[in-house]
Every structure is written in structure tokens, then in C-alpha cells.
Structure 1
Amino acid sequence: MTAEKEPHLSVARTATSPSAVQVVDLFCGVGGLTRGLEDSGINVVAGLDSDADCEYAYSVNNDARFVHANLLETSSDEIESMWSAGAVRVLVGCAPCQPYSKYSRGTSKEDPSAPVLRFAKYVDDLRPAVVSMENVPAVSRHPAFNGFLETLASAGYHISWETLPASGFGVPQTRKRLVLMASRLAPIALPASNVAKAKTVRQAIGRLVPISAGEANKVDPTHRASALSAVNLERIRNSRPGGTWRDWPDDLRAACHKGESGATFPAVYGRMEWDVPAPTVTTQFFGYGNGRFGHPVQDRAISLREGALLQTFPQDYKFEKAETLRSFALVGRHIGNAVPVALAKQIGNAINSHLEKYI
């Protein structure tokens, strides 16, 4: 892995051969997609994101360079300069998906279609050999996605897309993601599931040392859990793996649970189960009351590190400097928004197979 790098506005490299494959990762976040592509052997030359807080994690863990850029304003020429002359160009990304996600909190003031349509513009202007986009399934019901497909088709791309279960690619979650791949060379196949049996919570996080609510591990400070109030500590002590708040004594139930609306959210304040996949890891996974994010046996919500492992980041992936720990909300958002690394690796393998056949 590379050391920390200085931010820059442009990356230019010399291709080692006319068939060298180079990837630019748009809306890269802290690097889940980039890391998976690199694990598949693909050369990612740059990742771009408007969130400067992603730079540390992206740069210190990956061989690609981080470019802080507002992708709604960055020119196509700037992105084109990041590929070497003669390189086989690949453009990938996960346009911000909160407006389309059922887990989104609040209402964004920004046009939710803008990132997807901007991605389409880059494709139309730059005509890379291969394009891949990962997103929440609900984006397929938005007009912006239809616009993206129309742009690809008019530019001569062969298109494949489908909502895939992440558990079929080694991700220990019930998460489902829309994966799109397009090629100007020939029809392109989506990654095929390569996991016969879903990975479980136990397999992902069972080896970590126990910690208490509000505690951080001294060796790995990212293995830290949010504190619990006295009532929430009693609630989790009365919770069983896979159970609901209906298992609690009446005096522990919140007022919202006693109304008709609260009855429709049984997983809130729930514990995960050891031997099945976790629920979808959201940006709020570190909070016990935000879903079924209670640890299976320890009286706390899962830690930031455990959330990252459920997203299949390597255990040594750094999200924060040990001496300057960031807020739970910031690190949780970065982890929850990431493309699961194991799924990204299989996307990379599919790109490799396609290019080996057609270039």
C-alpha cells in the first residue's frame, strides 16, 4: 500500500503497453469499489469525490490517487487527463444514492438526478471502453436511470444490469445492489455469484476481541462502540438475537412502540444473529436504536470496525488516524455508503474477463 499522498487536481501516467487497462473511479468515497478492483488486479489510477474527509482513508489504503473534486462541475477534459495515452479506459462509480434509498434520512435539497446524469455526460463525452455503476435498487425506478441507459445506448454501448444479492458475492449482508456494466466492445456479462452459502455475521466479526458499549480497543481504535444510555443498556440486555423489542418488559418499551406506527418497525433495537448474514449496513449502523445493529451477544451496538468487516473491508483498512479519531457519524457514513469490497472485486473480475476476450 502507498503512503499518504498530497491532494492534486490531475493525474497523468504513461501506459506500459497499448493494452494497459486504467480505471477512474467517480464518487469514490473511502475506496470500497477501488479496493475491490485493485484486489482483482485492475489498475485504478484515480478516485474522485467531493467529500474531502474521504481522502485519508482512500489514499492510505489504496494505490490509486485521491482527487478532491465536485463532480457536478468537473470538466470531462480533467477526467480524460487522468488516463494515459493508449490506455484501455474504464470508468466506474457509485453516484450518491441517498435520495433513492429507503434508509435515507431527511430530504436533500439537491436534485437527486444530478449525479447520475452527470455520470452519463462523462460517459458520452469520454467514451471509455467499459463502464460500471453500482447503486441502490430503487435508482432503477427513477427517470435519471432511464436517461443513463439512453445515453449509453445512443453512444453504442452493450448494456447489462440487474439487482444482485450481495450475499452471493461473499458479503455477509442481506444487502441488494443494482450493478450495471456496459461495453463498447461487445456484450458484457455481469459478475456471476461465486458463493454457494452466504457468509455469516460470526464469520465476519466473531474473531474480534470483546468490548463494552462506549469502549474502544487499544490496538484497533476503530473497533469502538457507541455508548448506551441506562435504559438502552437494559433494553439490549433483554434482547435476544433475531428478536424484537416485543421481547422486552412493558416498562422498557418506548412510547412509539406502543402506537400503531411503531408496530411496523420490529427490527429497531434488535440484535443480529451469529449464523446468518447481517441486515443491510446503513450509515447509522453504529447506533443500537437505528435497526438490527445490536451485537449478537455483547451488550452494545456493533463497532465501526465490525460494520466495516460486514462491508468486507480488510481488517487493517484505516478510516481514521489513531491519534485523531473522527466522529461516529462521519466514519459510519463513509463505511455505510461504500461499495462492499467483495462485490467490487467480482465486478473487477468480470471486467477483466471481458477485456481479456475482446482486446
Structure 2
Amino acid sequence: MQPVKIVDLFAGPGGLDVAAEKLGIPTIGIEWDASACATRREAGLETLQGDVRSYKPSDPIFKRVNVLAGGPPCQTFTVAGTGVGRKALDEVLGFIDRMVAGEERDKINKDLDNLNDERTALVLEPLRWALEAIEVRKKPYEAIVLEQVPAVLPVWESYAEVLQDVGYEVAYGLLHTEAYGVPQTRRRAVLIARYGTEPVNLPSPTHRAYRKGVPRHAGDPRLEPWVTMADVLDREYSFSVISNYGTGGDPKARGRRSHDEPSATVTGKISRNRVVSEAGDDLTRFSHSEAGCLQTFPRDYPWSGKDVGQQIGNAVPPRLAMHVLAAAFGWGPPTDEMLKRLETWKVAAEPTLDLGDEETNRGVEYV
């Protein structure tokens, strides 16, 4: 298929958008957080600042869009979060059944408002967009790309059943980021769908999976060794990173990764990770640029606004996104030349918006 333009729901600072733009595909992102929007503005990414629930596929601004993407907020679904999303999983799946059954949207919205955490309900927004594109816009998205934390995989499974019933071929599962050349171990639940009868598959790994204590050159010779922190950071000395991720604050449980290993999962608290020398002396902690590089953002990406660490930790790694997008479009794996484009970011010119009729777009806030 030929992508024309992507609408990215919950777009964050631009992880998927960076990958798409480097593939030559224009994007428009919807994002609530002002700091993430500040980064997007500095990067020149077309952005609507606001609540995804305030927009719909038939809005004139989206008339050229033929690809839907999204990574809804994951805080209530993550192990590190409150767990409200996991407890409400059966309830969320029930809402999907109600949406498919055509129940009045006002009644569904009222019940969604009664969930303990409104962020849990936001995981249903991509499905609303997909169904309204068919029912209201009368023009299905040609491809859909969704990603989230592993706990959301049952939701994607339910999504798959719905999308298959309305004409999509679908693939979903868990992907390990280091298996696609990201210098970081991170698992993501991914769903890709393509309208029509052509089979769709998740992207095939290009690198070996990381296993503690196993040499990076061991394993399937058809795959590249996993990428290390030293491969992407300009630190010409040995170091280790002591992470607080997943420890509950227990010093004895803190993970440790060497410079010749992939990073542990980059979270919004990456600034708390200690970087130490072989002798155990404290070194300079990761800068925003370095943390972004571990996520495979360009090293000169213009991070802006507040809480940049959280922006970086919440984003999808652009390198993984490039692989997923290529698979969703039925292309081959990204070439080395395509992937190399992710190394630097040139600030784009002011985005040209396809506003359509000025009157019908009145009240839409552009960033």
C-alpha cells in the first residue's frame, strides 16, 4: 500500500512520527501534554494540542489521512503504575463488545466516565477512530498501527477480532526492541492491520535477543548482534548503569548493565539512574540527548518543555516504529540507509496544514 498521511493519536514527543517522516510519510499528531507539544513544535512536526476524544476521523483536517496510529497512555496498565488498568481489563473488553454491538455512544461514554482512572478508557480511542472512519467517514484507514505495554495485549487481541470482522487482516504480539537494533531491552505489545485480503505480519527480528550472561555474538548467525549502549553513546570509557526501574526502591534489587550491553528499559525516571566507572565512582548521568539515543531518537533531536525524561521514557523507539510501519505497509524491512536517517534530525520548516474550509476548521488549535 501507499501511505499518504498518518494521524498519530497520543503522539507524545514524536517517536512514531520521527520514523514516518524519515520514511518520507507526513504525519499529524494529537497530543495533550504541553511539554511534548513544545518538543514537537521545535521539531517541526504537525500537531494538534488537545484531547483525542475531542476529534473525529471526519474532521476536515484529517481528510487526506489514510493511516491510523496510536499509543494510548499506559500508566494504569504498567507494572510500575497503580494496576487499575489490569483490574479493569475485563471491563474494558466489555466496552469493546458494546461498541461493536452499536450501543449508543452517549451511554458508553457515561459508563467510561465512571472508571477509576480515565486513562484506562483512553485505550479504546483507536478503536473508536477505526470504526468511525468506516461508519461515518465512509473511508476505512488502509493501515492501523498500535503499540502499548505488554499488559495491553489482551485488548489488542479483542481489537483484532473486531477489525477482522470489518475487513482487516491483522497481526499482533509482543516485540523485543533489542531484536530490531534498539540499544535497550523493552517489550511492546504491537498490533498492525491492513484493510483488504493481503496477509499482514509483524516485522521479523534483525538482531539477536539479549540474554544476561550470553555473549552478544552467540546465537542465530543470520541475525546481527544486539546493539550496546557504547555503540550509540559518545563515551570513550567503560561504565555501568545502576537502574532503579522495577525495584520498588529496594537498593538490593537494583539492576546493573554494563556499557557493552543494551540499556535496561528507558523510563521517565532515567535521570535517577547512576552511571559509574569500573572502580565504582560516580560519573555524569545521562543527558537528554543520550537518553534519547538509547531510544533511537536522533542525537540532535530538539527536546523542549518540562520533564523531558518523562517524554523520552513514554515514547516509542523510532527505530522499532520504522520496522513496524514498514511491515504495516507491506514493505520489506527498512534498509540500512533508511535507518541511518534516524541518526540526525534537521528542524523542519513550518508545517503546511491542509485546512480545508476555513469555517469548518474554526476553533481547532494548531501548535
Give 1:332 shift: 0.9
Q: Secondary structure at the match of 2:270?
A: coil
Deviates more, 1:189-198 or 1:273-282: 189-198
Compared CA separation, residues 153 and 20, structure 1 to 2 (3 A): closer
Q: Paired residue for 1:193, among 189, 205, 209?
A: 205
Give 1:294 shift: 3.0
In structure 2, give the amino acid aligned to 1:277. P
Compared CA separation, residues 70 and 296, structure 1 to 2 (3 A): farther
Measured on the aligned residues, the alpha-carbon RMSD in Å equals 3.0
8 A contact 1:170–1:342 mirrored in 2: yes
Q: Secondary structure at the match of 1:47?
A: strand
**Structure 1 equivalent of residue 174 of structure 2:** 163
Match status 1:133 vs 2:176? no
Give 1:243 shift: 7.4
8 A contact 1:117–1:147 mirrored in 2: no
**Structure 2 CA distance for aligned equivalents of residues 97 and 172 of structure 1:** 22
Give 1:171 shift: 0.7
Corresponding residue pairs, total: 273
Could you list the per-position Cα deviations for residues 146-186 of structure 1 after superposition, in whole angstroms to 9, with x for gaps in the alignment?
44233312222111011011001111111111111001122
**Structure 1 equivalent of residue 125 of structure 2:** 118
**Structure 1 equivalent of residue 358 of structure 2:** none
Give 1:286 shift: 0.7
**Structure 2 CA distance for aligned equivalents of residues 349 and 244 of structure 1:** 33
Compared CA separation, residues 129 and 244, structure 1 to 2 (3 A): closer
Compared CA separation, residues 139 and 296, structure 1 to 2 (3 A): farther
**Structure 2 CA distance for aligned equivalents of residues 170 and 94 of structure 1:** 21
Compared CA separation, residues 19 and 346, structure 1 to 2 (3 A): closer
**Structure 2 CA distance for aligned equivalents of residues 262 and 26 of structure 1:** 33
Q: Paired residue for 1:183, among 181, 194, 197?
A: 194
**Structure 2 CA distance for aligned equivalents of residues 105 and 286 of structure 1:** 22
- TM-score, length-scaled by structure 1: 0.68
**Structure 2 CA distance for aligned equivalents of residues 243 and 68 of structure 1:** 36
Matches within 5 A, 1:1-359: 21-44=4-27, 46-62=28-44, 64-78=45-59, 81-84=61-64, 89-104=66-81, 109-126=116-133, 127-141=140-154, 144-185=155-196, 186-195=198-207, 196-205=224-233, 207-208=234-235, 241=240, 266-268=252-254, 271-288=256-273, 293-295=274-276, 298-320=282-304, 326-327=305-306, 330-354=307-331
Compared CA separation, residues 24 and 262, structure 1 to 2 (3 A): closer
Compared CA separation, residues 37 and 299, structure 1 to 2 (3 A): same
8 A contact 1:166–1:343 mirrored in 2: yes
Compared CA separation, residues 61 and 105, structure 1 to 2 (3 A): farther
**Structure 1 CA distance for aligned equivalents of residues 286 and 82 of structure 2:** 20
Q: Secondary structure at the match of 2:122?
A: helix
Give 1:100 shift: 1.1
**Structure 2 equivalent of residue 251 of structure 1:** none
**Structure 1 CA distance for aligned equivalents of residues 68 and 243 of structure 2:** 43
**Structure 2 CA distance for aligned equivalents of residues 47 and 101 of structure 1:** 23
Q: Secondary structure at the match of 2:51?
A: coil
Compared CA separation, residues 60 and 295, structure 1 to 2 (3 A): farther
8 A contact 2:84–2:120 mirrored in 1: no
8 A contact 2:77–2:120 mirrored in 1: no
**Structure 2 CA distance for aligned equivalents of residues 170 and 107 of structure 1:** 33
Could you list the per-position Cα deviations for residues 91-119 of structure 1 after superposition, in whole angstroms to 9, with x for gaps in the alignment?
11111111111233686952343112111
Give 1:300 shift: 4.4
- TM-score, length-scaled by structure 2: 0.66
Compared CA separation, residues 75 and 349, structure 1 to 2 (3 A): closer
**Structure 2 CA distance for aligned equivalents of residues 190 and 120 of structure 1:** 19
Compared CA separation, residues 286 and 82, structure 1 to 2 (3 A): same
In structure 2, give the amino acid aligned to 1:137. P
Could you list the per-position Cα deviations for residues 21-73 of structure 1 after superposition, in whole angstroms to 9, with x for gaps in the alignment?
211111100001100122223232x11111122122113324x4111120123
Q: Secondary structure at the match of 2:265?
A: coil
In structure 2, give the amino acid aligned to 1:309. C
**Structure 2 CA distance for aligned equivalents of residues 348 and 243 of structure 1:** 33
Identical pairs, percent: 29
Q: Secondary structure at the match of 2:7?
A: strand
Show structure 1 runs of 5+ residues with no match: 1-17, 211-239, 246-256, 321-325
Could you list the per-position Cα deviations for residues 222-274 of structure 1 after superposition, in whole angstroms to 9, with x for gaps in the alignment?
xxxxxxxxxxxxxxxxxx837799xxxxxxxxxxx9xxx876x6443x55311
8 A contact 1:272–1:295 mirrored in 2: no
8 A contact 1:271–1:294 mirrored in 2: no
